Chains A and B, each alone.
Chain A
């Protein structure tokens, strides 16, 4: 593993969407969740979820196992529909969303072919694809195994590939479900530098993580959910300084029993 810092800096400038245009936007939120409710098999898995997602920066979504974080991310990504409630988007939002799933799903093809496939679906012209793939491979530090079957990669390499794939369409919103769960410390540091850079260039990032130090390091604000409900949300510093809800306090202390 090379030093993570330069890897973050290698990020090509055009990986993030043109943020100058969006600087002028005045909307206070990129999306607004209103009373979202999601049930499955008679169980209410998400209930009364309301929050406004700020137009920029990194929002950490925290909560114990089974809290409903992955479900919420799927709702925001439009992969599942709420049973009631709705999600409103900033009218200026172009809908471009990148998603990294908790479990990497990769095509039965080479690393390069996986990226090429995503670029093709994002309607990137063939001539530009080769260059973009090279950039993305460098960014995800996967150049050495570009031709390997994607599903033969290590867990961490697979996660980096899914991250690179989520960035092909330079999304305005990036939804990341525990993207560093299988990364080594250096790769994690590289990832954090990368996300900060992407956020700086105008992409809104929502990040599910169980790594509280990571949340503290890179998140601007925090949403804490437990048993399908939001118990707390606010700026990172305030959240970690003094969690107001007993559940959040217990979770941070590592004593929350689910």
Chain B
């Protein structure tokens, strides 16, 4: 495998996972905020569901999504199967519960502190949620990075809905699986090392953010 191809694979991995995490954040953070702030029937059930969904096996997500996106499935008309979009959706489904659950925890804590102050200002529920999200943004970014780690290292779902198509949907994990099955263990290991390196970079970012967060919490 050529260097150019490795770059292509790493780039697609990042593109798919980063967008999956952005979408998951756009859904998960407001959802977490709603659960942290809102008082409505079914709130506990929703919380439990989200926590349970955190442990969702990627293969199950892949299979469910395959059945939906298959051309003979209900959403087949969109022709999304075997595209990066399908992979983005799959990873988004996997990452959203993580971000939602983490957001709920962080925002609940902050809400306990800010609640009376904001109610005294007569802030609307939306304003309360906005204030909490803004003040918790550093903590939330750590959730995004954790989600990115999960998305990048996931294989079960992207293999099924992406199809590991060369130059189209081949990402790091599926390429590693392929090279392993070809017996190209050396190449598989070097791809694995790149993945590990990325995970390392993400974790450095996490630590840096956490220190900043602690400094801020102290302030």
Contacts and interface: CB of A to CB of B under 8 A. Distances in A.
A and B touch in the complex (CB under 8 A): yes
B116 A121 contact: no
Contacts of B118: 121
B114 A105 contact: yes
The contact size tier of chain B is 10 to 19
A74 B116 contact: yes
A121 B121 contact: yes
Contacts of B217: 108
A108 B219 contact: yes
A118 B123 CA distance: 9
B136 to A, nearest CB: 8
Nearest to B135: A108
A79 B131 contact: no
Interface in A136-168: 149, 151-152
B119 A79 contact: yes
Contacts of A101: 116-117, 120
B122 interface: yes
Contacts of B135: 107-109
A117 interface: yes
A133 interface: no
A97 B120 contact: yes
A77 interface: yes
B127 interface: yes
A121 B127 contact: yes
A91 to B, nearest CB: 19
Interface string B107-134: 0000001101111111100010001001
Interface string A90-108: 0000000111010001011
Name B's interface SS: helix
Contacts of B216: 108, 149
A122 interface: yes
Given A105-B114, A107-B114, A121-B127, A99 B120 contact: yes
Contact of A79 (B113, B120, B123, B127): B120
B123 A121 contact: yes
A81 to B, nearest CB: 12
Contacts of A79: 116, 119-120
A79 B114 CA distance: 12
Contacts of A122: 121
A98 to B, nearest CB: 8
B114 A149 contact: no
Contact of B219 (A77, A149, A169): A149
Nearest to A104: B117
Interface string A193-204: 000000000000
A137 B134 CA distance: 23
A145 to B, nearest CB: 12
Nearest to B124: A121
A105 B217 CA distance: 13
Given A121-B122, A121-B123, A121-B127, A105 B117 contact: yes
B219 A151 contact: yes
Interface in A106-143: 107-109, 117-118, 121-122
Contacts of A77: 120
Contacts of A97: 120
Contacts of B134: 109
B121 A105 contact: no
A17 B216 CA distance: 36
26 contacts: A74-B116, A77-B120, A79-B119, A79-B120, A97-B120, A98-B120, A99-B120, A101-B116, A101-B117, A101-B120, A105-B113, A105-B116, A105-B117, A107-B114, A107-B131, A107-B135, A108-B216, A108-B217, A108-B219, A109-B135, A118-B121, A121-B118, A121-B122, A121-B123, A151-B219, A152-B219
Interface of A: 74, 77-79, 97-99, 101, 105, 107-109, 117-118, 121-122, 149, 151-152, 169
Interface of B: 113-114, 116-123, 127, 131, 134-135, 216-217, 219
Given A77-B120, A79-B120, A121-B127, 14 more contacts: A74-B116, A79-B116, A79-B119, A101-B120, A105-B113, A105-B117, A107-B131, A107-B135, A109-B134, A118-B121, A121-B121, A122-B121, A149-B219, A152-B219
**Among all A-B residue pairs, the 6 with the closest Cβ atoms:** A99-B120, A105-B117, A149-B219, A152-B219, A108-B135, A151-B219
